[in-house]
Amino acid sequence: MSAPSPKDIRAVADSAGVPVDAEVAARIANSIGPAFEGFAPIAGTLPFDLEPASFLLAQAVKVSR
């Protein structure tokens, strides 16, 4: 997964209903790019039957050392 380009960002922001101009899109790309890159090793690797609610299960696990 690569970081989005300013052009990608303009398209996504437009579809979100909050259009941004080219300058703002370039600034967002620069700012949020590292987060995309940081998550890249995980993106696209998760198993099919994994839901966000698995977090609550992980929170509830009793741990004793």
Using CB under 8 A, list all residues that contact other proteins: 1, 4, 8-9, 12-13, 16-18, 20, 24-25, 27-29, 31-32, 34-39, 41-44, 46, 50-61, 63, 65
Q: Are 14 and 28 in contact (CB under 8 A)?
A: no
Nearest distance in Å: CB 34, other proteins: 7
Nearest distance in Å: CB 15, other proteins: 9
Cα angle at 12 between 39 and 27, to 5 degrees?
70
As a whole number of Å, the CA-based R_g of the chain is 17
Nearest distance in Å: CB 22, other proteins: 13
